[in-house]
Structure formats: C-alpha cells, structure tokens
Copies of this chain bind each other. A is one copy, B any other.
Amino acid sequence: MGTTQLEQAPETKYWHLKTVIGEALDSEFAVGEILPNERDLAARFGVARATLRQALEQLELEGRLQRRRGVGTTVAPPRMGVAVGAAGNGWPGGTGDAWQAADSTQEIPPASVAELLGTGEETVHVLRRSRMYNGQPVAADLLYVPAASVPDLSAIDIPDGVTRARVVLRELQRLGFEGEDRAVELGSARADDARQLDRLPGAPVLLVTTRYFGPGGRTAAVSVATYRADTCRLTFGGDVEFHSGQERRAS
C-alpha cells in the first residue's frame, strides 16, 4: 500500500493548499462572505486552477464552503447539530416525531428495504416526509409501512396523498413500540430528494436507515432518510449543543 506513494502523490499538493485556504477562511473571511473568483484565488496562492478547484471541493466536503450556481463560493456557517437518536425521531407519527408527511403511495419497495421488512414482492405504504430545522429543509425521508403493521386500515378507500399518510401514521401508533436501530452511511442525493433539499442530484448526503420494531421484535416500519451532508451534523444521545468535530486547524 505504499506510504511513500501516498506522500508523493499529486493529491498532497491540493491538500496543503486546502490547509492554507482553510487558515485564510478563519482569519480573513466572515460567514456568508463571497470568495474571490477561481482565477484570482489561483493567482494569489500560485497554483493551477485545477489544483485550486480540488482544494475547494475538499473544503466543501468538510462543510467550510458552499458553492451555489449564480451566487459563487461562500464561507459556510457552522454545521447544525440535528438530533437523529430517539430524542429527535421517535415512533413515526408519535410525540417528538420531527417529520412532516407530504405524500403517500403504495409501491413495491427497493429490494434492500423489502429484505429488512421481510415483505418480498408485496406492495407497502410509502410515505414521503420532510424534516425542517431552523427553517431550512435538512432531510427527506421515505417511510415504508407494510400492510401488516396497519391491519385496521382499509387503504382502498383513501386515495394516494397526504390524508392517507396521516391515517397510516395514526394506525401505526396503535402497534406497541419495542425499539429501533439505525445505520448511517454516505450516499449521493437521488433526483427527487435533491429537489426537496435544494441540492443538485448526486450531491453527497448522509443516509440514515432506521428500523422500527413492533410487537415480538418484528420490523414494523423502515425509514430511509437523506440528510444534507453539507449543513448537518447528526447527533446521537442527548440534545446537548455540540460543536463541530472537524479539526479545522489540525495540521
């Protein structure tokens, strides 16, 4: 795996540049301020524009910069700590549920979700929900609820839409809640989620998959939530205000 190879790789050049720009952001720029254009920045730091662009991409990954069409590159505010543990979610539709339902359809879920639910090729309720934080959309979510979890619902009578979403959530409340677990991974925004989150398709996102367990430990519902990775830091265990762990001034 060649330590030497890594050290001599061209990547280290923009890495160093990234550190230098990061220091300049700390000392010379305020949050929201627009950076000089790429040509001027490249000239200032004495690097090729391709190298500069790579460094800016890294700083965007780390949440230091925001790049938006028609605006340019601005200095990003610190990421928001968004509670993802039980405190910020809870049983869907219950007290403390941070999500707003916007739509409901009936579909065969993706294979990975069907496997978690044990539903196979069966149609399930799919609720599209969104989560706001400080007035900004921070996450979009698909909540998959098998018919077996809402046995008293005669779904045929209610057309697709937000009304059925509310009825599904209300019925889900009647199941006993036995726990939940979560997985967090890196993903890229699907076109519809990107639209909802005001991002471009393919932008890096944090994918949070939650399994909600009902009576007998059976999986009663699965949520696949897409969080903006640029503006969010996901917090677990307590709602304590928490500052960024990204080591901004580390060598």
Chain A residues packing against B (C-beta within 8 Å): 1, 3, 5-7, 9, 11-12, 14-15, 18, 54, 58, 61-63, 69, 79, 81, 84-85, 110-113, 115-116, 179-188, 190-191, 194-195, 198, 200-202, 204, 206-209, 211, 222, 224, 229-230, 232-238, 240, 242-250
Contact A181 B235 (CB under 8 A): yes
The 6 residue pairs across chains A and B that have the minimum distance between CB atoms: A209-B245, A181-B237, A186-B229, A185-B233, A110-B247, A182-B236
Contact A246 B187 (CB under 8 A): yes
- List 28 contacting pairs A-B, 8 Å CB cutoff, sorted by A: A6-B194, A7-B195, A11-B200, A12-B191, A12-B201, A18-B202, A54-B202, A58-B188, A58-B202, A61-B187, A61-B204, A62-B186, A79-B185, A84-B184, A110-B248, A112-B246, A115-B243, A181-B235, A181-B237, A183-B233, A183-B245, A184-B236, A185-B229, A186-B229, A186-B230, A209-B242, A209-B245, A224-B247
* Chain B residues whose CB sits within 8 angstroms of the CB of A243 once the complex forms: 112, 115-116
Closest CB of chain B to A107's CB: distance in Å? Answer: 10
Determine which of B180, B222, B242 lies in contact with A181 in the assembled complex, contact meaning CB atoms within 8 Å. Answer: B242
User: Complex Cα distance A18/B189, Å?
Assistant: 12
Contact B187 A15 (CB under 8 A): no
Contact B61 A245 (CB under 8 A): no
Indicate how many identical chains form the complex.
Answer: 2
Closest CB of chain B to A240's CB: distance in Å? Answer: 6
Contact B200 A248 (CB under 8 A): no
* Chain B residues whose CB sits within 8 angstroms of the CB of A182 once the complex forms: 235-237
Please give me the residue from chain B that is nearest to A230 by CB atom. B186
Please give me the residue from chain B that is nearest to A209 by CB atom. B245
* Chain B residues whose CB sits within 8 angstroms of the CB of A111 once the complex forms: 248-249
* Chain B residues whose CB sits within 8 angstroms of the CB of A188 once the complex forms: 58, 61-62
- Which among A14, A58, A188, A245 has the highest number of chain B CB atoms within 10 Å? A245
Determine which of B12, B110, B190, B245 lies in contact with A185 in the assembled complex, contact meaning CB atoms within 8 Å. Answer: B245
